[in-house]
Amino acid sequence: MLSASATVDPAFVVGPVRRRTFGSFVEHLGRCVYTGIYDPGHATADEDGFRQDVVDLVKELGVTTVRYPGGNFVSGYRWEDGIGPKSERPRRLDLAWHSTEPNEVGLDEFMRWCTKAGVEPMMAINLGTRGVAEALDILDYCNIAGGTELSDKRRKNGAEEPYKVRMWCLGNEMDGPWQTGHKTAPEYARLATETARAMRQVDPGLELVACGSSSSDMDTFGTWEHTVLSEAYEQVDYVSAHEYYYEEDGDLASFLGSGHKMSNFIESVVATADAARAAGKHTKRINISFDEWNVWYQKATPSMPPTGDDWPVAPVLLEDTYNVADAVVVGDLLITLLRHTDRVHSASLAQLVNVIAPIMTEPGGRSWKQTTFHPFALTARHARGEVLRVAVQSPTMQTAKHGEIAALTAVATHDAETGEVVLFSANRSTDEALELAVDVRGFGDLRVVEAVTYANDDPYWHATADDDTSVLPVPNATAAVSGGAFTMTAPAVSWSMVRFARA
């Protein structure tokens, strides 16, 4: 048995819990849109063809913002193809995923879906095959009240009121050689700066995201951010970070250390952004939009796009099946995002439905929750108020990929209004339970309202359409607090959440 100790105190404030930390992502990729959120023949489909069972799951997941329409898809996308009468919309090749895009769902449908799901849209624009003019066009269509050709077209298409989209991604993964219209850092810096400047001429209050690196493993990581921010600094608010934590390939310890890798990535992006701030003598800070993150079984067959003459509509792509260990990693990654809430101002779990997703559907049939649904839903629901740093003294574990890392990771939130304190933690050990002792005296007398742990004797258990309830977060009977001392035992490969209230 491992043992770790920690202190949580109301003074250890990192920053606010930002609702946008619990964002997600809907891309025209595989079955995320078609037979995912949209399935007109489904028994629960509404008048727009959206599945109500999926909307209900999205609400239960607690997603706040949804990035759209890609992803790699956006870099070849013409947004005008997806507006107006459906019968007149063109079918086009989607080069990113070697598919055919039928354009049955487009911008107006997505905005209606956002209203139904109660989420904020976060739009990505095409800076792969397009540029400043098209960015201005989509901004006009979305955000201008009326009186211009494009805003009047939106009204004619059924949306009298402007969508008032606040957050815009200036392209997607433009550092990646796989991206349609991939750019060098100086090329992208120029285009992003000019696009942002023009968009701000329409509305200076927009929140604009410059593309950062597609992963911390990119050869250009660091220099890309430096070049882009050296030019675009004053025109943008955020730099993006994308990273997927790849399947466990026989090295569970390294996989469970994914949060350690994400933490290093975030801190390096912050350092690069702050170096650009110093060099350019800027006063504002550039924060991070971590707008693609998840576990991804990238080497698995479902991730391979079609080839040759085969350009299917909505093929099965990236339909990863997640196990309990994956869910522990997702919980740990959320802990990591919260721990950096001072600089990570937005994040998107990629993606939402069917494609590397917490929600799965059968075309015309059932929908169900993957294991990763649970830590996300609980964190999104209960993290409130301010994020508190947890001062941890943890035993360490050796990993092949990250060296020596802490076995325990934790973060807390504190809602000063209600007095609720929530402790989120993960035991990354592959084989040992961990006894945790936490000093919570700074809050006065507390009682445990709820303590749940997600783990399983077989960490490779995964949910199916037939069974997504056998392994759920369950009450942790070892959790107890007395005289400001909290204790709990967390099994190996586990994620836990403990909610406290004033006694």
Distance CA 312, CA 101 (A): 9
| Cβ density class 232-262: b for 16+ within 10 Å, e for less | bbebbbbbbbbbbbbbbeeebbbbbbbbbbb
Residue closer to ligand AHR, measured from CB, 178 or 460:
178
**Smallest distance from the beta carbon of 157 to ligand AHR, in angstroms?**
27
Residue closer to ligand AHR, measured from CB, 169 or 498:
169
**70 contributes a contact to ligand AHR by CB under 6 A:** yes
The pattern of x and - marking residues 28 through 67 that bind ligand AHR according to CB under 6 A reads -x--------------------------------------
- Give, in order, the Cα–Cα distances in Å from 213 to each of 52, 169, 195, 221, 416: 36, 13, 19, 6, 36
> Which phi and psi (to 5°) does residue 241 adopt?
-135, 135
**Smallest distance from the beta carbon of 27 to ligand AHR, in angstroms?**
5
450 is catalytic: no
**Smallest distance from the beta carbon of 242 to ligand AHR, in angstroms?**
6
Tracing tokens 């250009």 back to the chain, one arrives at 220
**349 contributes a contact to ligand AHR by CB under 6 A:** no
For residues 186-245, which are near ligand AHR according to CB under 6 A?
A: 214
**Smallest distance from the beta carbon of 48 to ligand AHR, in angstroms?**
24
Distance CA 23, CA 211 (A): 17
Which distant-in-sequence residues (6+ apart) come within 8 Å of 301 by Cβ? none
**106 contributes a contact to ligand AHR by CB under 6 A:** no
**Smallest distance from the beta carbon of 176 to ligand AHR, in angstroms?**
7
341, two tokens? 């809430």
292 is catalytic: yes
**354 contributes a contact to ligand AHR by CB under 6 A:** no
104, two tokens? 């049955």
Which distant-in-sequence residues (6+ apart) come within 8 Å of 263 by Cβ? 336, 339, 340
**292 contributes a contact to ligand AHR by CB under 6 A:** yes
Per residue, the 3-state secondary structure of 39-81, as one string, reads: CCCCCCECCCCEEHHHHHHHHHHCCCEEEECCCHHHHHCCHHH
Residue closer to ligand AHR, measured from CB, 29 or 61:
29
Region from 5-13, 70-78, 139-147, 385-393 binding ligand AHR, contact rule CB under 6 A: 70-78
**75 contributes a contact to ligand AHR by CB under 6 A:** no
> Which phi and psi (to 5°) does residue 129 adopt?
-100, 0
Where is 266: in which H helix or E strand?
helix 258-279
Catalytic pick from 27, 80, 134, 173? Answer: 173
Residue closer to ligand AHR, measured from CB, 355 or 497:
355
**Smallest distance from the beta carbon of 484 to ligand AHR, in angstroms?**
44
Residue closer to ligand AHR, measured from CB, 70 or 121:
70
**Smallest distance from the beta carbon of 142 to ligand AHR, in angstroms?**
21
**351 contributes a contact to ligand AHR by CB under 6 A:** yes
The pattern of x and - marking residues 433 through 462 that bind ligand AHR according to CB under 6 A reads ------------------------------
Residue nearest to ligand AHR (CB): 71
Contact status, residue 120 vs residue 25, Cβ threshold 8 Å:
no
Sheet holding 474-475, edge to edge: 13-16, 386-388, 408-414, 421-427, 494-502, 446-454, 474-475
**Smallest distance from the beta carbon of 381 to ligand AHR, in angstroms?**
24
Contact status, residue 217 vs residue 244, Cβ threshold 8 Å:
no
Catalytic pick from 27, 225, 292, 386? Answer: 292
Binding test (CB under 6 A) with ligand AHR, winner from 71, 76, 106, 459: 71
The pattern of x and - marking residues 134 through 173 that bind ligand AHR according to CB under 6 A reads --------------------------------------xx
Cα dihedral 274, 275, 277, 279 in deg (nearest 10): 170
Distance CA 134, CA 136 (A): 5
- 71: closest CA among 221, 228, 291, 266? 291
Which residues here bind ligand AHR, judged by CB under 6 A? 27, 29, 70-72, 172-173, 214, 292, 350-351
List residues with catalytic annotation: 173, 292
